[in-house]
Amino acid sequence: MEDSITMDLESGLSLPIMEHFYTIQGEGRYTGTAAYFIRIGGCDVGCHWCDVKESWNPSIHPVSSVDKIAETAASQSKTIILTGGEPLMWNLEPLTSRLKNLGCRIHIETSGAYPLSGHIDWICLSPKKTALPLESVYAKANELKVIVYNNHDFIFAEEQASKVNDNAILYLQPEWSNRNKVTPKIIDYVMKNPKWHVSLQTHKYLNIP
């Protein structure tokens, strides 16, 4: 990779963009809301059930200038969702500054394993056992979304809920490939522990991106 591209990636002036698209947010607090997704390549968290493993290697995704991606996104929607991969592996200050200048509200979906950067209006923290969140992300998360793959994930969810700030909305979401098995358990758990809410990947049921 050319030195200038490497420098732009390090400074956050360019980012490896896997895909970007306008759709409906399918999960969590903003389920059903139209939003523009920017999926940034790169993740080293290594969830075995990850449904976007193609995102893990940043070098296979085209490097785009944040000016260009911000203009494209803001022309479609004023609600932007930064996702990945793990978007906090990158310096998000340049991208989020440009989006803010274009009047956007910015959400992020993160494992919390890297420090927050940039101007973020809504933080969806989805912690993973393989790389736990930083304290600074627990403190600022607006929603905590725990993916449930097996019974131990309910124990993990309670551990994570004890670490997140008191205002965070708590969600349990079935891991998609195991949804038939775990969704009834989540329903039962939420009825017994109503501080939690059910989150479903409604975009997958709707067959939209």
> What is the contact surface with ligand SF4 in residues (CB under 6 A)?
43, 45-47, 50, 52, 55, 84-86, 111, 128
Closer residue to ligand SF4, CB minimum distance, 98 or 174: 174
Q: Smallest distance from the beta carbon of 108 to ligand SF4, in angstroms?
A: 12
User: What is the C-alpha separation between 53 and 108, in angstroms, rounded?
Assistant: 19
Q: Smallest distance from the beta carbon of 50 to ligand SF4, in angstroms?
A: 3
Query: How many CB atoms lie under 10 A from the CB of residue 80?
Result: 26
Closer residue to ligand SF4, CB minimum distance, 17 or 74: 17
Q: Smallest distance from the beta carbon of 29 to ligand SF4, in angstroms?
A: 18
In sequence order, which residues have a C-beta less than 8 Å from that of residue 79 and are 6 or more positions away? 30, 33, 34, 35, 36, 104, 105, 107
> Which amino acid belongs to residue 174?
P
Q: Smallest distance from the beta carbon of 128 to ligand SF4, in angstroms?
A: 5
In sequence order, which residues have a C-beta less than 8 Å from that of residue 47 and are 6 or more positions away? 128, 130, 147
Closer residue to ligand SF4, CB minimum distance, 131 or 139: 131
Closer residue to ligand SF4, CB minimum distance, 55 or 64: 55
Q: Smallest distance from the beta carbon of 41 to ligand SF4, in angstroms?
A: 10
Closer residue to ligand SF4, CB minimum distance, 55 or 142: 55
Closer residue to ligand SF4, CB minimum distance, 111 or 199: 111
Q: Smallest distance from the beta carbon of 130 to ligand SF4, in angstroms?
A: 8
